[in-house]
A and B are shown apart, each in its own frame.
Chain A
């Protein structure tokens, strides 16, 4: 039970790596924004309270991967021509409407392209990774302890993959969505979130999986350290025109790319134009990572509304997966 970690979804065994890459990292967006000049501070829309207005429905869909792919090592940005070529290549590679000759690959593609909403563009800065620090665009190495923990967890998950619900990923269990965070990452579909502001609260409502974070801006301290939550405990403040959100108190069972309960996540939201936000997050967890790391994602305004994503309520898949495993066992026993 202790190993209820969703590592499997995020850093799955090698064999599934390509598929995952296709599904999650090949995101894109209808992005126009960051190509234009940033808004001047005085032109920023303001709420009635005078705070920078971040409200609206936003999408972080992009095809730019979190980490810089090995074949782009040493190349932090594309030229415009390279970016266009990359977008084309990704679009072809990720088109699941192509039926693969290999049945296993075919079943992994799951269903038609029209179910997806990955975006088709690289981020406007033409960066080759969302990670901006360290400069190599890669997640820093895990500490030896964290490495061991991650390996143990992975091994446990592999061994118990269909023994019970605990062997499935948190996403499959409808407990937490890998890309809904915090931090929020682009995913293959439903990359939408809504921001609402009152005078001392900001709400971030993520469509996946109907998670709403209500973030106090009133200077109140974090909750007691023994209160642990899947989404942690967030406190916000304004740094000029930037909303800064600090999140701690993550559940022991939550792990973002190898993080542990000591994760201190800092998110920064800056309105850069009427239709764009710059979203930046820094992961600081000295017991898990050898150094902090930071990613940036351009977020664009999108059409609402946010629809209900009642994950658990319709989760026939969990029953099917476990029932399938039991049926296989019965057959093997004969």
Chain B
């Protein structure tokens, strides 16, 4: 075989292989997020979940609301559920408590009282939140109740005290921001359906860019006092693309004063 021909054949084979390989390669290649100035994936932006996980993490049908006067505006919208495997693996006593929580949710849900949402609930409240990313810290500001978290990218050590929003330590796993959250109090709920936790709660969040305007959000939830095993929720978070999108104030404390203190109000003298 002439040398030139052999070279031509080789080139041709390589070319065919390459051409054939490109589409396959492109399909399997994970999305590569645009970079921030420090070379990390850029998660900056205003994000929001588009689901009804805040009503109930598990799949649920629509149903009438708790307040008659609100009519359809207070009714509970349905949702296919965000829990992997469908059900939250409660320990028996905890399952009973969840039931009681649900039955008394109008009275007990911390959201009703405008309390801080905790994690992961903050991520799927029906309000936007903004990620502001720097090398040392990543700050997340939530519109609901002005809640805020600082994620320390240098290990901050153990939480000094329990808090509503927990104590967040972050690191990068490839293009995924992984946040290890501990130091929770036992006051927050996961949703309006009474799903709850103890102060042993440990949450690992994963934020993964999957396209220009979508993050995949996952949270693994562990709490040996309440659950028989760790369990996971996952959902997409969507970027707000409106021109001049910004967080506005939802300082709800004022909206719940009558609810919380109305019974202590001075009665008009008769």
Contact = CB atoms under 8 A, between A and B. Distances in A.
**Do A and B interact directly, with beta carbons closer than 8 Å?**
yes
A226 B78 CA distance: 11
A55 interface: no
A223 B83 CA distance: 12
B58 interface: yes
Interface residues of B, number: 9
A224 B86 CA distance: 7
A125 to B, nearest CB: 39
A199 to B, nearest CB: 20
Chain B, interface SS category: loop
Contacts of B58: 224, 226
A251 interface: yes
Contacts of B81: 223-224, 227
A147 interface: no
Contacts of A228: 61
Nearest to B86: A224
Contacts of A224: 58-59, 80-81, 86
A221 to B, nearest CB: 11
Contacts of B80: 223-224, 227
Interface in A217-250: 223-224, 226-229
A3 to B, nearest CB: 16
Interface residues of A, number: 7
Interface string A192-226: 00000000000000000000000000000001101
A224 B60 CA distance: 8
A223, A228, A229, A251 — most chain B CB neighbours (10 Å): A223
Contacts of A223: 59, 80-81
Contacts of A229: 61-62, 78
B76 to A, nearest CB: 12
A165 to B, nearest CB: 12
Contacts of B86: 224
Interface in B150-169: none
Contacts of A227: 59-61, 78, 80-81
B60, B61, B78 — most chain A CB neighbours (10 Å): B61
A228 B62 CA distance: 8
A251 B62 CA distance: 11
Contacts of B59: 223-224, 226-227
Interface in B59-79: 59-62, 78
Contacts of B61: 226-229, 251
A224 B80 CA distance: 7
A228 B63 CA distance: 10
A223 B59 CA distance: 8
Interface in A167-210: none
Nearest to A224: B59
A19 to B, nearest CB: 32
Contacts of A226: 58-61
A233 to B, nearest CB: 10
A226 B79 CA distance: 11
A227 B80 CA distance: 7
A12 B60 CA distance: 32
A222 to B, nearest CB: 10
Contacts of A251: 61
A218 B61 CA distance: 22
Contacts of B78: 227, 229
Nearest to A252: B61
Interface in B29-86: 58-62, 78, 80-81, 86
B39 to A, nearest CB: 39
A229 B63 CA distance: 10
Interface string A266-309: 00000000000000000000000000000000000000000000
A251 B61 CA distance: 9
B102 to A, nearest CB: 12
A226 B62 CA distance: 11
A262 B59 CA distance: 18
B87 to A, nearest CB: 8
B81 to A, nearest CB: 5
A227 B78 CA distance: 8
A223 B82 CA distance: 12
A226 B56 CA distance: 12
B78 to A, nearest CB: 7
A228 B60 CA distance: 8
B88 to A, nearest CB: 12
B61 to A, nearest CB: 5
A226 B63 CA distance: 12
A150 B16 CA distance: 70
B176 to A, nearest CB: 26
Nearest to B80: A223
Nearest to B62: A229
Interface of B: 58-62, 78, 80-81, 86
23 contacts: A223-B59, A223-B80, A223-B81, A224-B58, A224-B59, A224-B80, A224-B81, A224-B86, A226-B58, A226-B59, A226-B60, A226-B61, A227-B59, A227-B60, A227-B61, A227-B78, A227-B80, A227-B81, A228-B61, A229-B61, A229-B62, A229-B78, A251-B61
Interface of A: 223-224, 226-229, 251
Given A223-B81, A224-B80, 19 more contacts: A223-B59, A223-B80, A224-B58, A224-B59, A224-B81, A224-B86, A226-B58, A226-B59, A226-B61, A227-B59, A227-B60, A227-B61, A227-B78, A227-B80, A227-B81, A229-B61, A229-B62, A229-B78, A251-B61
- The 3 tightest CB contacts between A and B, nearest first, are A224-B59, A227-B59, A228-B61
